Every structure is written in structure tokens, then in C-alpha cells.
Amino acid sequence: MEAILDWNVIATGLAAPVAVLVVKTLLDFSLAHYFVQWFSWIPTRGLFRHRYQNLKGEWEQVWGAAGSESFKDEIDRHSYTEIKQFGSYCYAEFKSKGITYSVFGKIRNSYLFGEWYDKNDRYAYYGAFQLRIVDSNSLEGKFVGHSKKTCEVKQDSWVWNKVAN
């Protein structure tokens, strides 16, 4: 009996692992911000075999002023945003004083940590954050930030509360 290779079966069997490898590679590079923003609707349980805390949804967030004269009023540090999630990666955008800021982070254990920055000028005002996942409806932690105007690094609290899924 002669063995016949079915190339359709081979190609189909290789497509999924190759796709997962490509996605994981993209997430490890700077393209991850865009990937999570555009493809957060894809269920990832079947891809990564790990179930992360579900943070996607509408959130209210407020951050401390860190002594900044530009953000003294709480209204300037308070906004609503949508967290988009792809596996362990999260992305959100919020506005403050007419400027759009991006937040990109990764869930590790019971923490979401990552970076935040001015979306239009990544080096104008940017920094890092670490938020403890209290539960799927609240995050609390700290941020550090650097402004090219003052050349100072400051830190303060950052609190997020989920409004809707």
C-alpha cells in the first residue's frame, strides 16, 4: 500500500501553531499596543491555554497630581476609558486637558504593570505604572511619570474602578 500525503491536512495542522507563534512574537515587540487595540475582540483561551483576570470593559480612573501645577484639579486627572484585553495584555486610552494618553500593560499574577504615554508625542509626558488587581472591578497602585517640560520624575497613586463590562 502506497502512502499518500494529504497536503491540506498538513497545512491545516501547521496553520494554527504558526499563527500562535506570529501573534506571540508581535505581542513581544512594540507592535503589541496596536495588536491589542485592534484584535481585543478575539477570544484567547484557546490560543494561550491560560485564563487571565478579565479586565476588559468601561472604567473610571483617577490619578494623583504628584505635585504637578498643570494637573492640580481632580477634574483634570479623572476620566472614563475602555480597557481592551488580549490574553494577558491590556490597552486603554483616556483624555486629560484635551490630550489623549495611552496605557499599555501586561497582567502578571495579581498585578497589571506597564507604561503610559502621550499618544501624539510619546516623549512629552510618559512613565510606568503598577496596579494591583484588587478584584475584576477595581485596580489600585502607583505611577511614575516624566515630563520633558520639567525634566523631573514624579510618582503618585492611580485608582481604577470598573463601570461596566
pLDDT tens-place string over residues 115-136? 999 999 888 889 999 999 999 8
Q: Give the pLDDT band (50/70/90) at residue 57.
A: very high
Asked if residue 134 lies in contact with residue 127, where contact means CB atoms within 8 angstroms, the answer is: no
Close Cβ partners of 89 (under 8 Å, ≥ 6 residues apart): 27, 32, 35, 36, 104, 105, 106, 107
Percentage above 70 pLDDT, the chain: 81
Q: Report d(CA 92, CA 117) in Å as an integer.
A: 11
The DSSP H or E segment spanning 19 is: helix 7-28
Asked if residue 57 lies in contact with residue 101, where contact means CB atoms within 8 angstroms, the answer is: no
Model pTM greater than 0.85? Answer: no
Least confident residue range of 30-34, 43-47, 108-112 = 43-47
* Predicted local confidence at residue 1, as pLDDT: 56
Q: Give the pLDDT band (50/70/90) at residue 31.
A: low
* Predicted local confidence at residue 46, as pLDDT: 53
**Superfamily for the 32-164 domain:** Quinohemoprotein amine dehydrogenase alpha subunit, domain 2 (2.40.128.120)
Q: Which of 25 and 89 is assigned the larger pLDDT? A: 89
What's the mean pLDDT when you consider all of the chain? 82
Q: Report d(CA 61, CA 138) in Å as an integer.
A: 10
The angle at the Cα of 86, spanning 85 to 91, to the nearest 5 degrees, equals 45
Per-residue cell: 121: 508625542
Tell me the C-alpha to C-alpha distance, in Å, between residue 72 and each of 97, 110, 123, 125: 12, 31, 22, 16
Q: Report d(CA 129, CA 138) in Å as an integer.
A: 15
Q: Which of 4 and 145 is assigned the larger pLDDT? A: 145
Q: Give the pLDDT band (50/70/90) at residue 47.
A: low
Q: Is 41 strand, coil or helix?
A: coil
Per-residue cell: 16: 494554527
Neighbours of 104 (CB within 10 A): 20
Q: Give the pLDDT band (50/70/90) at residue 45.
A: low
Percentage above 90 pLDDT, the chain: 39
pLDDT tens-place string over residues 86-101? 888 899 999 988 889 9
Q: Which of 36 and 138 is assigned the larger pLDDT? A: 138
